[in-house]
Amino acid sequence: MILSTKSRMVALLAVLSLAGFWGCASRTVSRIDPGTQVDLSGDWNDTDAKLVSEEMINDCLKAPWLLRYSKKTGKSPTVIAGSIINKSMEHIATDVFLMDIERAMINSGSVEVVASNVERGEVRNEKADQQVNASPETLKKMGMEQGADYMLIGQINQINDAEEGKQLKYYQTDLTLVNIETNVKTWVGQKKIKKYIGQGKFQP
Q: What is the pLDDT along the chain (204 residues), one digit of tens a residue?
A: 444 565 666 555 665 565 555 455 567 877 766 667 666 667 777 788 888 888 888 899 999 999 999 999 999 999 999 999 999 988 888 888 788 889 888 998 999 999 998 899 999 999 999 999 999 999 999 999 999 999 999 999 999 887 777 888 899 999 999 999 999 999 999 999 998 887 655 555
What is the DSSP-derived secondary structure letter of residue 1?
Answer: -
C-alpha angle 178/182/187, rounded to 5°?
A: 25
Please state the pTM of the whole predicted model: 0.75
Cβ proximity of 141 and 171 under 8 Å: no
Contact between 182 and 61 under an 8 Å Cβ cutoff? The reply is no
- Could you please state the CATH topology (level 3) that the domain comprising 45-197 is classified under: Rossmann fold (3.40.50)
Contact residues for 44 (Cβ-Cβ < 8 A; gap 6+): 88, 90, 92, 156, 158, 171
Q: Are 171 and 193 in contact (CB under 8 A)?
A: yes
